[in-house]
A = this chain, B = another copy of it.
Amino acid sequence: MQDPCQAREVLGIVGDKWALLIVRMLKDGPRRFTELKRAIDGISQRMLTVTLRDLERDGILTRTVRNVMPPHVSYELTTTGQTLREATAPLLEWSITHLPHIDAARAAYDNR
């Protein structure tokens, strides 16, 4: 079990509830904090802040502050972030094709 240790690490990076959603939101260029908050349904201000910080720390995205009033902070994927997004694409495709099947499996399991 050496590779799987990396699997565990990669989940530490993208495995939380919001990271992939944020990465996905940034695929078409930089976005501002409030823009992300509005677009990602259900995320709290705190969780957006925390997740963005983590992703910045991991070098997935960059945080750019323009020191004006009201504050203007924008987030943008790094090249590493771009490759990450590409790597997660198959998983997203998988989810689109298989989620109905999984919902069915769940329903069947719960009905036993």
Is the CB of A46 closer than 8 A to any CB of chain B? no
B95 touches A6 (CB 8 A): yes
Encode contact with B along A28-70: 1 for CB under 8 Å, 0 otherwise.
Answer: 0000000000011100000000000000111110000000000
A94 touches B98 (CB 8 A): no
B92 touches A6 (CB 8 A): yes
Number of copies of this chain that the complex holds = 2
Main secondary structure of the interface of A (DSSP, over half): helix
Is the CB of A84 closer than 8 A to any CB of chain B? yes
Measuring CB to CB, which residues of chain A are less than 8 angstroms from any residue of chain B? 1, 3-11, 13-17, 20-21, 24-25, 39-41, 56-60, 80, 83-84, 86-96, 98-99, 101-102, 104-106, 109-110
